[in-house]
A and B are shown apart, each in its own frame.
Chain A
Amino acid sequence: MSARANLTLKRVVVRHHGDLDGDTITQTLMGLAFDAYRIEDAASAEDDQHGRARQLLRALAVAGFGAANIMLLSVSAWSGADGSIRDLFHLISGLIAVPVVAYSGRPFFQSAFSALSVRRVNMDVPISLAVLLAVGMSVFQTFTSKPDAYFDAAVMLLFFLLIGRYLDQLMRARARSAVTSLSEYAARDAIEILGDGSTRAIPVADIEVGMRLRLLPGGRVPVDCCVVQGTSDVDRAMVTGENEPMTVRVGEVLESGVLNLTGALEVEAERLVDQSFLAEISRMLDAAEKGKGRYVGLADRAAEIYTPAVHLVALTAFIGWMFVSGGDWQRSLLVAISTLIITCPCALGLAVPVAHVIAASRLFRWGLLMRNGGALERLARIRIAVFDKTGTLTSGQKTVVQMPKLTAPERDAFAALAGRSSHPAAMGIAAALGQTAPVALTHVTEEPGIGISARWDGASIALGRGQSGTRLEVDGVSLGEARFAETVRDRADEAIGGLARLGVQATILSGDTDQAVTNISRTVGIDDWRAKQSPKDKVSFVTTLSEEAFEGGVLMVGDGINDGPSLAAADVSIAPGSASDVGRHAADFVLARPSLEAIPNAVWLARRTNEIVLQNFGIALIYNLVAVPLAVAGFVTPLIAALAMSGSSIVVIANSLRLSHMEPPRFTPARGNSDEQAPALAPPAEVAA
């Protein structure tokens, strides 16, 4: 029996002969003062990333073994052995090399083959070609007793390439570390509760909306669902970023991927697995990697032309050298092989994706979910940020500060009426009126933007939009208005100050009254505001800004579900919202935290990311400009080519990793102190009110 603890994943794997059960292990761990919870399907954590890394590591080990032993023999062969001894050494080298190449070369051969089978070339094609040519040529040389066998170069080439691949694999895993391997959060099976109360196990893909499921302690929530029975503590760290377990009760919503800790729950499925939170996050990370930004399009097109060009250059080098050396095909082939290897566009291919994935995972940890990969580039270029007021700068909850005098039956009636609406004003009134006796209401009608009304005890009552609050009416007569105070989001002024320091101007655009907007604008420190804007006004304001005044640089922060058009009109959009609604937002980013400080940090990070991408392009370009002429001119052996090529990829990845160590500057509410000066721009055009 053995146990291994993985400190990074906070996971213990215990291997035993079947004489222990999960509970005993959990109890033992708790007895040692650890908080232990059992996770189903621990084996699933070992697949995917780990599997591929292990495969590469094994190939690496075998290649290393082969390279070292062949080198032993090559030293003697190259330093003066000839005749039958040299042939013998070549033969033994070949006997080692061929199986080693067949095993360790598999990652490259499989990848090249799958690309070729769909009539594409990827960068593993020239590598596979180079290795096979080198081995083939060396075998020929051995059997014809010629001196130029390059088994050592071929195997060492593989060895160094595999080192590069393995490190690349590790670093990619680290770059995605915010949501390391999504499969480790995914449940495999679910337990369905049938009509008669019995249960059966079903695959997660078969879960339908409305199905009742049982969620055991240690299990992962399979789909977005709502608790129907039971209470438990759950770990929602991947949704909220909070590591503290949260207690859930009947009626609360759980997202897929959340870990149930202490109690058994009965839940009702609300979404299919593909529309649940985990699938959404997975799609977003994919979008981050493949985002259609300007730079990505550039890299893609370059890569498409590049690989065929590589083969062409190698072929030309071969032919050229045949002429120059008068038919020395060994030398020519060697040059061609070196060219094939050194021109590998690994660095170019990595320049954008690695930086974007690292940036996306950092944003994720700050609570900003990126839905659109290309948005990161655009975020770096913004010059003005337009904020919605209610729900964006304010927390959307309204607290009643003044209530008209009501008789006890009126209190009951209005409390019941307010309870029927989910408008923030109604919820505020219901909260202020507190515990009341239940009242029967009929003909309850809610009109969005106008109010809610009903019939009560022969009279009609209504809650409607008043001049400075919500009007309470009975039979058409106003009893007075309930006045509210809005709570501004925590440290919103610091966020605005942060944007100012980055050279980004801020504006408030709201449908509310002048008075309400000025109150907020003073608190958060925004001087420029527009009030009483209808949804259409908002769209035209944003469009004008974006087209005429601040070309390419308008960020809109507002309600993602209801304000779609204004968000779409902006160049980049952020919607404050809950992570579970992420699929319904029309914005490029969703802010799943109560504080706005992620916004200036995100702008700062986007600018650094663009810089890093440009640096990466620079590195890839310099490497190619220097390396290719050297290879074609015959100064580079296959070995050096392999080292150089792996080196260039590692340099690009290392440069991108700098992104995860950069700290954003601490933003203080400094007004008018811009560290990064925005270029001189025309002032925004006056928009007709």
Chain B
Amino acid sequence: MTQLLFLIPVALFLGGLGLCAFLWCIRTGQFDDPDGAAERILHDD
């Protein structure tokens, strides 16, 4: 029982880290141009 009281917050915290990382990605505009990412490999430099 005590294990649960410890593990559940840990799980939530780790999940929360992932969520924050994702939200930061959205804020810095990484999802605004899905097609451009695909076309980048065709550029010569």
Contact = CB atoms under 8 A, between A and B. Distances in A.
A72 B36 contact: no
B16 A65 contact: yes
B11 A57 contact: no
A61 B19 CA distance: 7
Interface in A137-178: 170
A275 to B, nearest CB: 33
Contact of A69 (B15, B32, B34): B15
A301 interface: no
Interface in A1-53: 2, 4-9, 13, 46, 50, 53
Contacts of A92: 8
B33 to A, nearest CB: 4
Contact of B35 (A4, A8, A73): A8
Interface in A604-640: none
Contact of B18 (A4, A9, A65): A65
B28 to A, nearest CB: 8
Given A69-B15, A72-B11, A61 B26 contact: yes
Interface residues of A, number: 25
B7 to A, nearest CB: 10
Contacts of A7: 33, 35-37, 39-40
A8 B19 contact: no
Given A7-B39, A54-B26, A57-B26, A65 B32 contact: no
A50 B28 CA distance: 12
Contacts of A62: 19
Contacts of B31: 53-54, 57
Nearest to A76: B4
Q: Which size bracket describes the interface of B in this complex?
A: 20 to 34
B33 A6 contact: yes
Contact of B23 (A6, A61, A170): A61
A68 interface: yes
Contacts of B4: 88
Given A7-B40, A69-B12, A50 B32 contact: yes
A185 to B, nearest CB: 18
A73 B15 CA distance: 14
Contacts of A73: 8
B15 A65 contact: yes
Contacts of A249: none
A58 interface: yes
Contact of B36 (A6, A46, A54): A6
Nearest to B31: A57
Given A57-B31, A58-B23, A61-B23, A69 B11 contact: yes
A53 B34 CA distance: 12
A186 B7 CA distance: 54
Nearest to A55: B26
A184 to B, nearest CB: 13
Contact of A68 (B15, B35, B40): B15
Interface string B1-23: 00010001001100110110011
A92 B8 CA distance: 9
Contacts of B26: 54, 57-58, 61
B19 to A, nearest CB: 4
Contacts of A65: 15-16, 18-19
A7 B42 CA distance: 11
Instruction: Identify which of A8, A13, A54, A73 gathers the most chain B CB atoms within 10 Å of its CB.
Output: A8
B8 A9 contact: no
B22 A61 contact: yes
A295 B31 CA distance: 36
Interface in A69-116: 69, 72-73, 88, 92, 96
A9 B37 CA distance: 12
A153 B32 CA distance: 30
A9 B39 CA distance: 12
A394 to B, nearest CB: 41
Contacts of B16: 65
Contact of A9 (B22, B33, B40): B33
B33 A8 contact: yes
Contacts of B35: 7-8
A237 B33 CA distance: 21
Contacts of A53: 31-32
A423 B19 CA distance: 68
Contacts of B37: 7
Nearest to B1: A85
Contacts of B40: 7
Given A61-B19, A61-B23, 18 more contacts: A4-B28, A4-B29, A6-B32, A6-B36, A7-B37, A7-B39, A8-B35, A8-B39, A13-B29, A53-B32, A54-B31, A58-B23, A61-B22, A65-B15, A69-B15, A72-B11, A73-B8, A96-B12
16 contacts: A5-B36, A6-B32, A6-B36, A7-B39, A46-B29, A46-B32, A50-B32, A53-B31, A53-B32, A58-B26, A62-B19, A65-B18, A68-B15, A69-B11, A69-B12, A170-B34
Interface of A: 2, 4-9, 13, 46, 50, 53-54, 57-58, 61-62, 65, 68-69, 72-73, 88, 92, 96, 170
Interface of B: 4, 8, 11-12, 15-16, 18-19, 22-23, 26, 28-29, 31-37, 39-40
